[in-house]
Amino acid sequence: MKAAVLYEVNKPLVIEDISVPNPGPREVLIRTKVAGLCHSDLHFIEGLYPHPLPAVLGHESAGVVEKVGSDVTYVKPGDHVVTCLSVFCGTCDNCTTGRTVLCTDTTVKMLPGQSNRLQWNKPEKLNQFLNLSSFAEQMLVHENAIVKIRKDMPLELAALIGCGVITGYGAVVNTARVQAGETVAVVGCGGVGMAAINGAAIAGAGRIIAIDTNPAKLQLATKLGATDIVDPARGDVVQQVRELTGGGVHHSFEVLGRKETAEQCFSMLAPGGTATIVGMIPFGQKIELHGFDFLRERRIQGSSMGSNHFRVDMPRLVEFYMRGKLHLEDWISAKLKLSEINEGFANMKAGKTLRSVIMFDS
């Protein structure tokens, strides 16, 4: 099969011929239909987060089950599935207390370089990425890395749910637990930010403030549920939010992965408010906060993949789409062939796209 391989950071991905073995116990072989280009992949391409190379990246995907290994009972050939990097063991303390997204067993297994599922005719080991590696025509994964979905859900839209949508929506609904009527600010209107905005609208937030410098993204944000927009180019972001809300928001969400915007999210909170950091701040970078602000019970917290219970959350998101509450069609900026993947990441970095997807049947 064909796959896009990253050999060196800050270098283009290379299309190579690779293979996968037959599924082992509890493994599933998937024919990849769609893979989204996620900003998290770009972080690894640029070396902002470490990973052993060479590797096949990609983690936001949907496909069709081709084969299943022994002991697999959850899916069968022909099932439509969405992948999720939050693969879970089901037996550790976090899994058995309902926090599968923080599974400690797969935290060990997901350490870079542990998988031998990818093969090729070269001496170097080819590393699987986040137990998925979806920039390839097939994926061999553990059955606890996938969720079944209804077959009438378009796969190019279902793929988005696998990372960007569940991350943004889940940060609002699962991590922050936004209540009806509360005020929300979302800093960054990319794919994850749009999911947070749409998720806040579904949750019934009373006021949703979208913050971005891109006028087109701000316009789309209003369609997805934003009640107000803030352009940082027009002045101090924190001051603008405080003026709009009369003192700050109940919840702020940072989805850009930057030190300065994380600090802004904390500063724009009303007393008792919570800032949720969703973006991947570069590895090793620290943020600075005013200690006095904590005296008014302001909080800051992280969110891992939207604190998801993906086998429950993702089918619900599919239903939201089917009922017209989740506006996924508006997110796809480009449909690409695998050979166009580097162009897709270049456009992402330039801010020209909201979400690009690789269509493997095109």
Antiparallel, parallel or unpaired: β 146-148 and 228-230: unpaired
189 counts as catalytic: no
Sequence-distant (6+) residues with CB within 8 A of 175 are 276, 301, 303, 306, 307
Point out the catalytic residue in the list 43, 80, 142, 250.
43
Q: What is the rounded distance in angstroms from the CA atom of residue 321 to the CA atom of residue 153?
A: 9
38 counts as catalytic: yes
Q: What is the largest CA-CA distance in the chain?
A: 63
DSSP letters spanning 96-161: HTT-GGG-HHHHHHTSTT-----B-SSSSPPEESTTT--SBSEEEEEGGGEEE--TTS-HHHHHHI
Tokens standing for residue 353: 């796209």
Q: What is the rounded distance in angstroms from the CA atom of residue 104 to the CA atom of residue 297?
A: 30
Point out the catalytic residue in the list 38, 92, 95, 189.
38
Query: Do the Cβ atoms of 62 and 33 come closer than 8 Å?
Result: yes
Point out the catalytic residue in the list 39, 59, 80, 251.
59
Distance between alpha carbon 278 and the CA centroid of its chain, in Å?
Answer: 9
For residue 268, give the amino acid letter: M
Query: Do the Cβ atoms of 162 and 36 come closer than 8 Å?
Result: yes
Tokens standing for residue 288: 């600075």
Tokens standing for residue 110: 């997901």
59 counts as catalytic: yes
Point out the catalytic residue in the list 39, 40, 103, 307.
40
Point out the catalytic residue in the list 95, 103, 163, 189.
163
Distance between alpha carbon 25 and the CA centroid of its chain, in Å?
Answer: 28
Sequence-distant (6+) residues with CB within 8 A of 50 are 112, 283
40 counts as catalytic: yes
Q: Which residues are catalytic?
A: 38, 40, 43, 59, 163
